[in-house]
Structure 1
Amino acid sequence: MDETTREAVRTRARSHRARLLSVLRVQYPDALTDRGYRLLHPTTGDPYAGDRRHLVATCRSVANFAVGALADGPDWCLDAAEHGLRFLREAHRADDGGYRLVVTGEGEPVDRTRSAYGHAFALLAYARAVDAGIDGAEADLDATRDLIDDRFRADRGLLRSDCDADWTEREPYRGQNANMHACEAYLAAYEATGDSEYLDRARRVAEAIAVDFAADTGGLLWEHYTADWEHDFAYNEDEPRHQFRPPGYQPGHHAEWAKLLALLDRYERGEGEDGAGGDTSASPDWYARARELFDAAVDHGWSENGFVYTHAADGSPIVEDRYGWALAEAIGASAALAERAAARGDIDEADRFRNWHRRFLVRTDLFRGPAGVWYEKRLPPDADGDLVAQDPPGVEPDYHPVGAFFEGWRSARAELSNE
């Protein structure tokens, strides 16, 4: 790498760190309340009305501020993460160690669902807290890992579905989404602890979802499965705009998996055969598969003003709403893939991913509101492209933009360290 290129990578790292911290600065201190956090409206910046707090939003906010601390942000990043951890432990966590899905600010249960998706985010929150050096978080990380093992983790290391408060499973359903975020959480736990067992767990989930199951759908990632992990192509077919479980293929999740597989490639190649990652000789080619998923996302979903929400197997759109989180995941994926391509000396591919990265970055203004908070989505052009904010209690405290800029920052740093 010549000095001109090196300086360009340094500039990219600084730019992403600044973007990350600017997102957090919008959230702090207005998102904090006496206990836990509140979501802020993208138009006004005012807290949402009502007193319901969603487990996923709490965990994502903890992870956000912990990531700010990891990026050497101001002291308030760590303070805000610790603030949210107290609420996670005291309000969301039940006596049996499980986590309630929705509570009031006083910790009164509103929805006692034991959500696999939500528990994956609890693991992520504690992993980021451990990585940021927050006292006591490692015990919580261990306890949450054990709880997931006991209550959710089943065949092939995959998570089963949501349960009632007594841990009775609600429906014979298995979901890609909860498992994708479990993979994300396991990777974060590996980053925080160096424990290769977490890397192995992430590897198992990724191989099942992103490789094996996708072999039956032409390489695309289906979202919904039966209890025996058979593709359920009819699931929610009458609810195309379902918030968490829409029918069809989601380009945003293809981009998100591309990022996770790039991280697996980074850690496995960095460890070597005798490193903490163990013998990975039988692992898939994560880099090649990540490229395939990224290309599928842009080929089927990219529309210059965002990604369509869902599409059919032939690539025809089902729901053309453009969600901000999908754009953010593509930003992170393109950054991680550019770094992996550069690590292999694949200059043409590194340049291609950097070009996509720049294209995505200039589109962030399409989703950022006047208050600096991202809107949930834009409606398609035939619906005038109107911006839509999330409904309360909401689950997105700008977690995806923070993750995108964090990955941009550390991928650039990794590229410099690969020399």
Structure 2
Amino acid sequence: MKPWLRQPAHLRWLGGETQRLLDFGVRFPHPLGGAAWLGEDGTPDLDAPVHTWITARMAHVYSLGALLGLPGAGPLADAALTGLTGVLRDGRRGGWHPQVSADGEAAPGKACYDHAFVVLAAASATTARRPGARELLDEALDVLLTRFWEEEHGLFADLWDTAWGRLDGYRGLNANMHGVEALLAAFDARGERALLDRALRIAERAVGWAREREWRLPEHFDEEWRPQPEYNRECPGDQFKPFGATVGHALEWSRLLLHLEAALGATAPGWLLESAEALFSRAVRDGWNADGAAGFVYTTDWDGRPVVRQRLHWVAAEAVGAAATLHARTGADSYAELYAQWWDHVRLHFVDVERGSWRHELDSGNRSAATVWPGKPDLYHAVQATLLPRAPLAPGLAAAAAAGLVG
């Protein structure tokens, strides 16, 4: 039997799922500008803050939709970009606020995580030729590299105060992972090799830490980039800074390493593929069906035992994407088999046929839950899961869609 990745009917299903997901999100534009938090049925919560990371993700996925020729996607991308060039942007001091309340008050601080997503959004929108996107990309990339990049470490710092006067002592790998993603997208849009060189430096540090810990990635560090393995033990289910090893991030890193390898071409070091496979293998051994029920747990401890057993949609989406990219890179049947198994799981448990999109969180018995992620604000992971199996390893999704390479 042919792998699903080669079945025309499966590829058509993926295309239909892309459209269904983007149809769910059409009500996201907030009156202030940017993206509203969406509820279980896609209703915008106009009393909730407008978040920069959600707004940037919406700009990214609807730019992809525009590049794929989906009617209405372009204006929705523009609506998200309006938030990034308007209410969420700090016009006086530069950079982007983490969020703005419903009454227009900006939250304090400047986070690398948010800025990485602004770069991703602007790069995709630039490729989609959306108005003002290139100027936004130039500004966002300048802020990311000027304010957050720590040359002596080859990594991005995490959090400044609003006025750029005090840099917090916390350092995190999550922001750097999305920094790699942003640098790859910016390379596609601008063609500057130096962006890939920075991405490679980040990847090399991350892989080094994972290799030292049997391929479980530390997420939290102090200002000298010393791992803090006990960080947030008292709050293990944090949305962005959970305790322990985050299974979905190992899967996400495995995929990004392969995209970086493909972008580097003949100059790519051999450890990128080796590390991608090792991270993937560890994540699957630790995270998949780890407690006797189907699905990926959210986090484990440093011996691989489950800590937070919730099943989050983004982890399953990254598993699908990682399996697809590893199969594309290696041709190994084992990755295609896991890919099919995980899509069965996603379709059975996460895809919400009645209310739209994917359920964002399930409990350990695969029942709907909302302890970590209420509502359905995020299309980014799910949309990309439907596109990655149909795209090359390089260029990235936006450039591939523009070139007609997304099958």
Correspondence for 1:399:
380
Over the aligned positions, Cα root-mean-square deviation in angstroms equals 2.6
Give the structure-2-normalised TM-score. 0.88
**Cα distance in 1, alignment partners of residues 160 and 316 from structure 2:** 31
Q: CA offset at residue 137 of structure 1?
A: 1.4
Pairing 1:329-344 to 2, within 5 Å after superposition:
329-342=318-331
**Per the alignment, do residues 17 and 255 of structure 1 end up closer, same or farther by CA in structure 2, a change over 3 Å counting?**
same
Q: CA offset at residue 247 of structure 1?
A: 0.9
1:289 partner letter? S
Correspondence for 2:249:
253
Q: Does 1:219 align with 2:208?
A: no
Bigger relative CO (Cα 8 Å, ≥ 6 apart): 1
**Per the alignment, do residues 7 and 307 of structure 1 end up closer, same or farther by CA in structure 2, a change over 3 Å counting?**
closer
Q: CA offset at residue 170 of structure 1?
A: 5.4
Correspondence for 1:148:
144
Q: 2:53 pairs with 46, 56, 67, which one?
A: 56
Q: 1:189 pairs with 179, 186, 207, which one?
A: 186
Deviation readout 1:87-140 (Å, 9 max, x if unpaired)? 11111111222101111457x233122011111111111111112122331222
SS in 1 for 2:153: helix
1:331 partner letter? V
2:378 partner letter? P
Correspondence for 1:345:
none
**Cα distance in 2, alignment partners of residues 261 and 413 from structure 1:** 11
Q: Is the 8 A contact 2:34 2:55 kept in 1?
A: yes
1:195 partner letter? E
**Cα distance in 1, alignment partners of residues 85 and 304 from structure 2:** 43
Q: Is the 8 A contact 2:39 2:377 kept in 1?
A: no
Q: CA offset at residue 5 of structure 1?
A: 8.1
Q: 2:159 pairs with 138, 159, 162, which one?
A: 162
Q: Is the 8 A contact 2:4 2:340 kept in 1?
A: no
Q: 1:26 pairs with 20, 24, 46, which one?
A: 24
SS in 1 for 2:367: coil
Q: Which runs of 5+ in 2 are unaligned?
A: none
Q: CA offset at residue 196 of structure 1?
A: 1.9
Q: 1:372 pairs with 334, 337, 356, which one?
A: 356
Q: 2:284 pairs with 282, 295, 298, which one?
A: 298
Correspondence for 2:272:
286
**Cα distance in 1, alignment partners of residues 394 and 162 from structure 2:** 44
**Cα distance in 1, alignment partners of residues 140 and 46 from structure 2:** 31
**Cα distance in 2, alignment partners of residues 163 and 262 from structure 1:** 31
Q: CA offset at residue 292 of structure 1?
A: 1.0
Q: CA offset at residue 21 of structure 1?
A: 1.9
SS in 2 for 1:229: coil
**Per the alignment, do residues 125 and 311 of structure 1 end up closer, same or farther by CA in structure 2, a change over 3 Å counting?**
same
SS in 1 for 2:66: helix
Q: Is the 8 A contact 1:13 1:413 kept in 2?
A: no
Q: Is the 8 A contact 1:130 1:137 kept in 2?
A: yes
The more displaced of 248-257 and 237-246 is: 237-246
**Cα distance in 2, alignment partners of residues 86 and 126 from structure 1:** 11
Q: Is the 8 A contact 1:98 1:147 kept in 2?
A: yes
**Cα distance in 1, alignment partners of residues 277 and 302 from structure 2:** 19
**Cα distance in 1, alignment partners of residues 219 and 310 from structure 2:** 18
The more displaced of 131-140 and 79-88 is: 131-140
2:317 partner letter? A
**Per the alignment, do residues 14 and 265 of structure 1 end up closer, same or farther by CA in structure 2, a change over 3 Å counting?**
farther
Q: 1:90 pairs with 86, 89, 94, which one?
A: 86
The more displaced of 128-137 and 30-39 is: 30-39
**Per the alignment, do residues 92 and 7 of structure 1 end up closer, same or farther by CA in structure 2, a change over 3 Å counting?**
closer
Pairing 1:68-107 to 2, within 5 Å after superposition:
68-74=65-71, 76-95=72-91, 96-104=93-101
**Cα distance in 2, alignment partners of residues 60 and 224 from structure 1:** 24
**Cα distance in 1, alignment partners of residues 241 and 96 from structure 2:** 21
Correspondence for 1:362:
344
Deviation readout 1:223-269 (Å, 9 max, x if unpaired)? 11111111111211111111211110011001100110111122223
Q: Is the 8 A contact 1:56 1:118 kept in 2?
A: yes
Give the structure-1-normalised TM-score. 0.86
Q: Is the 8 A contact 2:258 2:393 kept in 1?
A: no
**Per the alignment, do residues 81 and 104 of structure 1 end up closer, same or farther by CA in structure 2, a change over 3 Å counting?**
same
Q: Is the 8 A contact 2:34 2:79 kept in 1?
A: yes
Correspondence for 1:346:
none
Q: CA offset at residue 396 of structure 1?
A: 3.8
Runs of 4+ in 1 over 6 A off after TM superposition: 4-7, 412-417
Q: CA offset at residue 389 of structure 1?
A: 7.4
1:252 partner letter? G
Q: Which runs of 5+ in 1 are unaligned?
A: 273-278, 343-348
SS in 2 for 1:91: coil
**Cα distance in 2, alignment partners of residues 299 and 26 from structure 1:** 34
2:330 partner letter? A
